Structure 1
Amino acid sequence: MKDEPPLYLDDPERLKALAHPMRRAMLTHLNAHGPATSTTLGELLGAKTGTTSYHLRQLEKYGFIEEIPERSTGRERWWRRAEGPRDIRTPDFGRVDPAARAALQEFHRIGMDEDRRLLESFPAAYRRDPDWAKASRGFGRMTKREFETFFEEYIALLFKYSHRASDAPPDARPMYIRLFALPADEPPE
Structure 2
Amino acid sequence: MKDDESLTLDPGRLKALAHPMRRLMLRHLSVHGPATSTTLGELLDAKTGTTSYHLRQLEKHGFIEEIPERSTGRERWWRRADGPRDMRLPTPDQLAPEDRPVLAEFQRTGWEEDRELFERFPAAYRNDPEWAKASRGLGRMTKAEFEEFFEAYIALLMKYNRGAEDAPPDARPMHIRLFALPADEE
The aligned residue for residue 140 of structure 2 is 141
Amino acid at match of 1:29: H
Amino acid at match of 1:6: S
Amino acid at match of 2:153: Y
SS for the counterpart of 2:5 is: coil
Tell me whether 1:101 sits opposite 2:100 in the alignment. yes
How many pairs align?
Answer: 186
Unaligned ranges ≥5, structure 1: none
The aligned residue for residue 4 of structure 1 is 4
| Distance in 2 of aligned mates of 1:125 and 1:15 | 30
SS for the counterpart of 1:171 is: coil
How far has the Cα of 1:33 moved from its partner?
Answer: 0.6
RMSD: 1.4
Q: Could you give the per-residue CA deviations for residues 53-108 of structure 1, whole angstroms, max 9, x where no partner exists?
A: 00000000010000011111111111000011000001111221112111100001
SS for the counterpart of 1:57 is: helix
Q: Could you give the per-residue CA deviations for residues 1-52 of structure 1, whole angstroms, max 9, x where no partner exists?
A: 9983311012x22221111111011111111111111111111111111000
**TM-score, length basis structure 1:** 0.95
Change (3 A) 1:3 1:174: closer
| Distance in 1 of aligned mates of 2:41 and 2:65 | 17
Deviation beyond 6 Å, 4+ runs, structure 1:
none
The aligned residue for residue 60 of structure 2 is 61
SS for the counterpart of 1:27 is: helix
The aligned residue for residue 167 of structure 1 is 166
Amino acid at match of 2:115: R
**TM-score, length basis structure 2:** 0.96
Query: Equivalent residues in 2 for 1:121-140 (5 A)?
Result: 121-140=120-139
| Distance in 2 of aligned mates of 1:145 and 1:85 | 25
| Distance in 1 of aligned mates of 2:161 and 2:6 | 16
Unaligned ranges ≥5, structure 2: none
How far has the Cα of 1:179 moved from its partner?
Answer: 0.3
Query: Would the aligned equivalents of 2:3 and 2:85 in 1 still touch at CA under 8 Å?
Result: no
| Distance in 1 of aligned mates of 2:160 and 2:51 | 33
Tell me whether 1:43 sits opposite 2:59 in the alignment. no
Amino acid at match of 2:105: E
How far has the Cα of 1:126 moved from its partner?
Answer: 0.9
